[in-house]
Amino acid sequence: MRTAVLRTKIFFFALFGGLSWISTAPAMAQMNIEIAGVGQSQLPVAIMRFAGETQLPMRPTDVIRSNIARSGALRNTEAGNGELAWDINPDYGSWNSRGAAALAVGSVTKMSDGRFEIRYRLFDIRKQESLGGLVIAAGPDDLRMAAHRISDDIIQKLLGERGIFSTRLSYVIRAGNNYRLVISDSDGENPRPALASKEPIISPVWSPDGKKVAYVSFESRKPVIYVHELATGRRVILSNQKGNNSAPAWSPDGRRLAIALSIDGNTQVYRVNADGSGLKRLTRGSSIDTEPQWSPDGKHIYFTSDRGGNPQIYRMSTEGEAEGGAQRVTFKHGFVTSPRLSPDGKNLVYVARTGGAFKLQIQELSSGEVTQLSDGPRDETPTFAANGRFVLFATRSGGKPVLAAVSVDGKNRQILSLPGADIREPAWGPFMD
């Protein structure tokens, strides 16, 4: 049964070892991040040490500087420990001569209730004006998130778009015969185990409100889809039908999920309400139809099917292919898997077999133009960042399983690895309002 559902999750996985877990020693070490390919057009920003932050268990500016380096659009011009308080009146000419286009400063004060008040301000050096800032009260456990919020504010003020540093990731780690579903910050740090099991955990996917994760677990010795409430740890069974239950995907409004079931033999796409009721079959035929994904407007479901001989991506109405049929979407490659839609619905990423390897591709849906985003060799399970600017996926680097992130223009690449750990099945969480 386990072999069958792993084939259902991506029925061709066996061809490139998508779930060939490697036994390793337990590890929750610090995430290593390697950044490559950033260009010279990055906006230079001076992130100064916040006055008083040495009293904290961790320095917020360490996180902010790291976030700026990962952004691909900004770069930090300060590497020292010089402090500047939030209420300064900067010498704009001096900072301009030092090559900074913007300046971030801040202060930290301990409050009577044991929390810390973090004040930060951002200055536009070229326009010689203050861009405002934030005041955040944070306990010792919330300092990293406070730093992520400040990083997001810097992105918003300088680039005019919403930052993704406050979003979260989920991924699965195998250590020996133990599997852990982990929730972390967007940089892979601050990991919190959500589920531990002696059996595989696959296909985690975030609900649109970021409060729940659906996934497939083998803990009952068969594949069952669960919905897991992160704040409480409460879990409910979404689907435990005969055969394989796999590939959950939330609708944009969070009220329904598309799933893949093999109730009648070959795997087909179904729709189900978030409480497990209202099961409806959407595809019918002798092919294997799996990996459903909702379009952001909620009108279509994209899925993988071998109905043409080799797996390709198709699109149908959310009411099923009986309503207008299913239209093939991918044509450039002969073997295509793992569809994911960008948050704005303009781009589709998928994994294609090319040159003997499995490589991440991005397709502009309006034109059909396809661009390769990675060099493989075994890319799996892509997932878009909430702003659509980056794609996170599982791959191998130096023969070891890692997570990789790439900007949609292919110019910024990052490798996230845990020393000694087998890390797979990434999912990037939504914005948290």
Which stretch of 34-48, 165-179, 345-359, 409-423 has the lowest confidence by average pLDDT?
A: 34-48
CA neighbor of 283 nearest in space, from 274, 292, 295: 292
Q: What is the 3-state secondary structure (H, E, C) of 278-340?
A: CCEECCCCCCCEEEEEECCCCCEEEEEECCCCCCEEEEEECCCCCCCCEEECCCCCCCEEEEE
CB 420 within 8 A of CB 24: yes
Distances in whole angstroms, Cα of residue 64 to Cα of each of 68, 108, 124, 153: 6, 15, 17, 11
Q: Cα separation of 266 and 243, whole Å? A: 10
pTM, full prediction: 0.90
Closest residue by Cα to residue 44 from 129, 104, 120: 104
Question: Among candidates 161, 379, 383, which has minimal Cα distance to 250?
Answer: 383
Structure tokens belonging to residue 240: 């435990």
CATH of the domain spanning 41-159, picked from 3.40.50.10070, 2.60.40.1840, 3.40.1800.10, 3.30.420.40: 3.40.50.10070
Q: Which residue type occupies 217?
A: S
Do residues 418 and 29 touch, judged by C-beta distance below 8 A? yes
Q: CATH classification of 2-21+167-428 is 2.40.128.630, yes or no? A: no
DSSP 219: T
Predicted confidence band of residue 68 (pLDDT cuts 50, 70, 90): very high
Per-residue pLDDT at 25 exceeds 70: no
Q: Is the pLDDT of residue 352 over 70?
A: yes
Q: Which CA distances in Å does 234 have to 178, 194, 195, 288?
A: 21, 10, 11, 33
Mean pLDDT of 395-403: 90
Residues of the chain with CATH 3.40.50.10070: 41-159
User: In whole angstroms, what is the distance from residue 86 CA to residue 119 CA?
Assistant: 6
Write down the pLDDT at residue 223. Answer: 96
Which DSSP string corresponds to 40-93? S-PEEEEEPEEBTGGGSSS-HHHHHHHHHHHHSSEEE---S--EE-TT----HH
Tokens of 117: 């008040």
Of the listed ranges 26-30, 245-249, 402-406, the least confidently predicted one is: 26-30
Single-letter residue type at 317: S
Cβ(381)–Cβ(424) below 8 Å: yes
pLDDT at 360 over 60: yes
Q: Specify the domain boundaries for CATH 2.120.10.30 within the chain.
A: 2-21+167-428
CA dist 86 and 64 (Å) reads 15
What is residue 323's predicted lDDT score, i.e. its pLDDT? 86
Lowest mean pLDDT among 39-43, 307-311, 355-359, 415-419: 39-43
